[in-house]
Chains A and B, each alone.
Chain A
Amino acid sequence: MIWETVRLAIQAIYRNALRSILTVLGVVIGVGAVIAMVTVGQGSSDQVTADVAKLGTNVLMVMPGAGQMGPGNNSVSAALDAKDVEALIDQLSSVRTAAPYNATSLNAVFGTEDTRTSVAGTDTRYLDVVDWPIVLGRGFLPTEESSGKAVCIIGETVRQELFGNTNPIGEKIRLKNVSCEIIGLFEAKGASSFGSDQDDIVLMPIKAFQRRVTGSTDITMIYVAAASNVSTDRTLVDIEALMRERRRISDGEEDDFNVRDMKQMASMLTGITDVLTGLLSAVAAVSLLVGGIGIMNIMLVSVTERTREIGIRLAIGATANQVLLQFLVEAIVLSMIGGIVGILLGLGLAAVASNVMAIPFSPDLAIVAIAFLFSAAVGVIFGYFPARRAARLDPIEALRHQ
């Protein structure tokens, strides 16, 4: 009986092909939009994860200050210093190397050109931690690092802004009131998944930075590379223990520093993507609701239009439930067709968008299944009322209907 009903429903839908297409358009668009949003969202999440992996999953950062990173963290706590860096390297076997890293934002001036850029003080170990090759010139010499000489390595963006395509090596740029000789150019990296331009940077030896830019010996961040044979989790625990000891934090007291690894950064970023995806999907789901109302509308029209047909069916012995089931199944089949077409459309759109945005195409089977079931549910919910109306018709009245 149920297969018979499904067959009848498909027949009825086919009989009104154009109207059926227009009816399911709402569901097609709704499901398509949700699928496209979620798939693209998943793709960009995957992209972030891949970016972070490229950056080095074995990289950790140590920062002063308790609690979560981000805005609203105003707690004041003791800064780090050079001894912390040496201690991490010397005392922990799980640390391969570490580098101090202080950064600020400054105008870099060359001749009549100037550009706002990120200026950081660090040492040659940083280049090892983040594995960043120099394509032109050289890195810091030990003498430059120990003497705090004003030399710098610049990123590709800074070079473009100040020098165009010419060779910047040997030129002097002015940062605040420091005249700084360019000794190297980094390989271009492009935008990070954080959204910032990683090539918009000027690096100088930490001593020069401390002395000439900030005027303090504080270190605001330490980059740590975990040893290759240990997990970053293990390294993280080691660093935390050592730092607690060095900062004399007694048991039970909160850390006044925090250690993050790239995995955490990744999860934070994918968290943001997930929220955005969720919001957009919610908007798309509203259009699915509108699609459902469209189905109800057409089913109601259909019931009115087919009153005579319902009368015939009732006269020749259909029970109220059989008529109800017929119209309900019709609505469900209609919305499931819409769901299937919508899924294909959504995946197609997502594939194109992923290609354009250069992110991986990551279809999620679970979401596809949910979208399909949801479209069926739309059929049940919005098909029930019209179907019940059909089932309650009086056969005599219905037969008289023109």
Chain B
Amino acid sequence: MADSKDANVPVIDLHNISKIYGHGEAEVRAMDGVSLSIAKGEFVAIMGPSGSGKSTAMNMIGCLDRPTNGDYLFNGVHVGNLTKDQRAILRRNYLGFVFQGFNLLPRTSALDNVELPLIYKGVPAAERRAQALDALAKVGLKGREHHDPSELSGGQQQRAAIARALVGSPQVILADEPTGNLDTKLSLEIMELLKLLNERDHITIVMVTHEEDMATYAQRVIWMVDGRVERDGPPAEVFDHERHSA
């Protein structure tokens, strides 16, 4: 559906996107004329203070939301024209999600959690199992497949969540504060894992974070303030500028 033959077409392409909640006095512009494009294989961190619209941007990129104004092209396809179900199908085929709170299904084994996206894709059981085991092995959870999330540490839960994002062979993994609930050591491990997936498997990674340490793993930082993109560039450059202006 959204496969582009042309390698030069950016996988994510936002044109003047606005997302407005409420009307009149109560109007909130969560995104206010955002334009940005992310090429295949990039590792991008979206940063900014709270309320800067980075989560809205993430939902927009993740095709969970639709823009009020502007165009979003995912692999050249207008997401704004897709129905709710079409967006769901797009998500299951091209996107993987990693959340701050892991969001694994409780009382469900790591293996079953990882198989979930494949069930919705309609992958046959045997193949599904093989792919899920493979994904769990990739994130270093071999031998923990049958544990419930409650029996896994935070780092292991996030690995399982990454395996779930990974299992459908997505083009893009969207990570919303993936290290927000983890201590520094585990955070760095998770970042190393994301970096590995980006470098070895050429998966495009878009990550929201408020920690500079984590953002330095990215090749590019997008700094948002008040629903607008204020800075966009390599981490060192963006942070340097922010420090000077602060």
Contacts and interface: CB of A to CB of B under 8 A. Distances in A.
Interface stretch (B9-17, B70-78, B112-120, B218-226): B112-120
A217 interface: no
Given A1-B122, A4-B119, A11-B108, A318 B88 contact: yes
A248 interface: no
Contacts of B103: 308, 311-312, 315, 399
Interface string A4-34: 1000100100010000000000000000000
Contacts of A396: 59, 64-65
A62 to B, nearest CB: 75
A258 interface: no
A272 to B, nearest CB: 54
Nearest to A14: B107
A33 to B, nearest CB: 34
Interface in A284-337: 308-309, 311-322
B169 interface: no
Contacts of B120: 313, 316-319, 322
Nearest to A4: B119
Nearest to A317: B92
Nearest to B121: A317
Interface in A145-184: none
B8 to A, nearest CB: 27
A319 B164 CA distance: 17
Nearest to B128: A4
A321 B85 CA distance: 9
B117 A316 contact: yes
A395 interface: yes
A81 to B, nearest CB: 86
B97 interface: yes
B84 interface: yes
Interface string A227-240: 00000000000000
A319 B121 contact: no
B116 to A, nearest CB: 6
B2 interface: no
A316 B107 contact: no
B93 interface: yes
Given A317-B88, A317-B91, A317-B93, A15 B107 contact: yes
A308 B91 CA distance: 17
B43 interface: no
A315 B105 contact: no
Contacts of A321: 85
Contacts of A1: 119, 122
Contacts of B117: 316-317
Given A314-B88, A317-B121, A395 B64 contact: yes
Nearest to A15: B107
Given A1-B122, A308-B103, A396-B59, A317 B64 contact: no
B89 interface: yes
Nearest to A395: B64
Contacts of B99: 399
A317 B87 CA distance: 8
A316 B97 contact: yes
Interface of A: 1, 4, 8, 11, 15, 308-309, 311-322, 395-396, 399
